[in-house]
Amino acid sequence: MRKLKNNELGRISVDEFKSIEKTPIIVVLDNIRSLNNIGSVFRTSDAFLIEKIYLCGICATPPNKDIHKTALGATESVNWEYVENTLTLIEKLKRENVKVLAIEQAENSTKLDAFYPTKGEKYAVVMGNEVKGVQQEVVDASDLCIEIPQLGTKHSLNISVTTGVVIWDLFVKLKA
């Protein structure tokens, strides 16, 4: 088995990315403080053709050298927008018939492995602050709360890891 070289990966240009059909997933970052986490979410969103990222509250926005360090240019390919108030955004998305999924540990949450998205629906996944998680008012306003089952002692994943797990799971289920 031979590792592929960069020029063998079939990478598309930013212009091609912008014109290609996207996965019907929107990522909402609710008060993410780490610029590296924000950059990592951009890079993951590029990998799986995510429709858009909303940066809310205290989230920093591109251009920013610390975001760029982990995004590796994905801030140029993935559509994004800053919205100050996460709850206002959630209400707007719901009016547009987007199903809002708060990714959080909560009573009566649905385990990610038991959630099956409906083809033809558009989903927004809300990722919360590294310490406080998704704001309670945002959880309350969401259509569903999705939780990643965890069996170890920490029951805590980094927000960029959580985003990768959730996007991959939904991507596979929507493409199946």
Tokens of 139: 């959880």
Which pLDDT belongs to residue 126? 98
Look up tokens 């994004």; give the residue. Answer: 80
Look up tokens 């719901």; give the residue. Answer: 94
Query: Where are the chain's structural domains?
Result: 20-147+156-175
Question: Where does the pLDDT of residue 11 fall: very low under 50, low under 70, confident under 90, or very high at 90 and above?
Answer: very high
Pairing of β 23-30 and β 50-56: parallel
| 95 exposure class (CB count in 10 Å sphere: 0-12, 13-18, 19+) | exposed
Q: In this prediction, what percent of the chain has a pLDDT beyond 70?
A: 100
What lies within 8 Å, CB to CB, of 81 at 6+ separation is 52, 53, 54, 55
Distances (CA, A) of 19 to 78, 84, 103, 171: 11, 28, 29, 19
Residue 176 has pLDDT above 80, yes or no: no
Each residue of 105-160: pLDDT tens digit? 999 999 999 999 999 999 999 999 999 999 999 999 999 999 999 999 999 999 99
Query: CATH code for 20-147+156-175?
Result: 3.40.1280.10
Each residue of 66-112: pLDDT tens digit? 999 999 999 999 999 999 999 999 999 999 999 999 999 999 999 99
Angle between helix axes 35-47 and 159-175 (nearest 10 degrees) is 10
Please report, as a single letter, which amino acid is at residue 70. Answer: T
Question: Comparing C-alpha atoms, which of 37, 102, 110 is closest to residue 67?
Answer: 37
Q: Three-state SS string across the chain, please? A: CCCCCHHHCCCCCHHHHHHCCCEEEEEEEECCCCHHHHHHHHHHHHHCCEEEEEEECCCCCCCCHHHHHHHCCHHHHCCEEEECCHHHHHHHHHHCCEEEEEECCCCCCEEHHHCCCCCCCEEEEEEEECCCECCHHHHHHCCEEEECCCCCCCCCCCHHHHHHHHHHHHHHHHHC
Neighbouring CB atoms inside 10 A of 42's CB total: 29
